[in-house]
Amino acid sequence: KKPVTITTIKDMKQKGEPITMITAYDVAMARNVNEAGIDMILVGDSLGNVILGYQSTIPVTMEEMIHHTKAVVRGNSTALVVADMPFMSYQASLTDGLYNAGRLLKETGCTAVKLEGGQEVCELVHKLTTAGIPVVAHIGLTPQSVNQLGGFKVQGKEVAAAQQLLADAKALEAAGAFACVLECVPAALAKKVTDELITMATIGIGAGNGCDGQVLVCNDLLGISTGFTPKFVKQYANLHDITVNAVKDYIKDVKERSFPAPEHTFKIDDSVLEKLY
Ligand code: KIV
Ligand code: NA
């Protein structure tokens, strides 16, 4: 597979070829999803919930994003790696946004950054893209604003909110974002937004199959943990059960002394042992 660039993604939108994206947070997962042929890897700030055990994405820091993005970049060879800008790394000023996006590209080797918001982030999106930093936008349900939104719920259901979503998407396209995540948006609205855009590819999560592409959190897709799973997740494997059963088998083998077996064991010549005193 040829390395994916933002030109590849733009071409895929023009040709109507579905774009695939998945999150990853470490080198092992990056290698696996890259080998599978994924187009884009997102080092999401879902890192906070999925890997670090926070209750939301709000506590995630620049240092944590950089640490994990570096690992993902080392495991990748052909996918386009996008790193999330964490909460408050770009909201306070344009200078913060430019500085922190620059850090992500310079210190990790990722290709693009993702940030949440509509018209209010357009000036930053324009400045970033002009400076040479490709941007993925993110509208609809924006988890960094969960406290302001009053919870995790579907966005854009009323006329004013739907109109705002469409206006935000068009403004982000004009500002230069090459792609935009649409999270938890009614399918027909996501399709309308997608059809109205000319260059910016829409990447849906809980936004139906009318988007230009789809993204899922790798831990959700692989069933790595139990507990709450959103309606929009399709679980393609149950690594939770595979993991727990494998570790149970290991525990049993150790307790029975059936592991390690001779084939897992290093040998020494008897003559050496005989000389010990
Ligand atoms: O952080 C994340 O994983 C995301 C995706 C859900 C789009 O932003
Ligand atoms: Na995110």
Q: What is the pLDDT along the chain (277 residues), one digit of tens a residue?
A: 999 999 999 999 999 999 999 999 999 999 999 999 999 999 999 999 999 999 999 999 999 999 999 999 999 999 999 999 999 999 999 999 999 999 999 999 999 999 999 999 999 999 999 999 999 999 999 999 999 999 999 999 999 999 999 999 999 999 999 999 999 999 999 999 999 999 999 999 999 999 999 999 999 999 998 888 899 999 999 999 999 999 999 999 999 999 999 999 999 999 999 999 8
Atom number of ligand 1 nearest to Cα 114: 8
Q: Are residues 201 and 264 in the same domain?
A: no
Q: Are residues 232 and 190 in the same domain?
A: yes
CATH of the domain at 185: 3.20.20.60
pTM of the model: 0.97
Q: Indicate the number of domains in the chain.
A: 2
267 is in an annotated binding site: no
Please give the sequence-ordered ranges of beta strands (E in DSSP) within 16-101, or none if there are none.
19-23, 40-43, 80-84
| Helix (H), strand (E), coil (C) string for 100-152 | HHHHHHHHHCCCEEEEEECHHHHHHHHHHHHHCCCEEEEEECCHHHHHHHCCC
> Best substitution site from 45, 68, 141 to test ligand 1's pocket, by max atoms within 8 Å of Cβ?
45
Ligand nearest to C-alpha 43: 1
Examine residue 71 and state whether it is found in any structural domain, yes or no: yes
Ligand 1 pocket check for 205: Cβ under 6 Å? yes
Is 123 known to be catalytic?
no
Q: Which protein residue's CA is at the shortest distance from atom 3 of ligand 1?
A: 44
Q: How far is the CA of 271 from the centre of ligand 1 (A)?
A: 61
Examine residue 1 and state whether it is found in any structural domain, yes or no: no
Ligand 1 pocket check for 46: Cβ under 6 Å? yes
Question: CB under 8 Å, gap of 24 or more: what pairs does 97-102 form?
Answer: 97/121, 97/124, 97/127, 97/128, 98/124, 98/127, 98/128, 98/131, 100/62, 101/128, 101/133, 101/135, 102/131, 102/133
Q: Which protein residue's CA is at the shortest distance from atom 8 of ligand 1?
A: 44
Q: Which domain holds residue 257?
A: 242-274
